[in-house]
Structure 1
Amino acid sequence: MVDQDRRGHGRTAMSAQVKVSHEVFGEFLFSTRDISDGGIFIVVEGESFDPAIGDTVEVQVQGLPVPAPVLEMQVVRKSNDGFGLQFADQ
């Protein structure tokens, strides 16, 4: 049997609110579904957010006691319910 999962990092379920900024679509608040050493998956429901694979976005975790850093990420996967984002330095 061939393994169809080509991800290089194990995923951990994690729900956090993140602000995602795209130069064309603007800013949105989304929830994460999981995180790994390589990136995150954001759940997008009913929003007009539809970046192309390869687009760069800025992501910042919300709701922390101090402002989180803004991270540059790249859209690497699209599914029916959201997008896989890879950390830009990967």
Structure 2
Amino acid sequence: MKLILPTEFKDLFDNDEHFYDEDKNTNKRIVRVYNKNEILIAKSIQAMNKNKGKMRYFGVQNYREYLSEEYVKHQKEVEKRKNYQ
């Protein structure tokens, strides 16, 4: 797995075609996102400590295949604007 953007994780998490499970213990909270074939595609890990919770987001090598069309289209528009400026 590799680090992914929080917005990419949110898109995978919010997708109706995917489902998730969650584990909590005293030190961390883990959310795993699966595709409809029950294959793990992404996970987030939040370290719980006294000061703050540190979030990390991970995706499998081909996680981009599972992003919504709307998200991909939006990202292309953002890139286009960056290149235009």
Calculate the TM-score normalised by the size of structure 2.
Answer: 0.25
Larger strand percent: 1
- With normalisation by structure 1, the TM-score equals 0.25
Higher helix share: 2
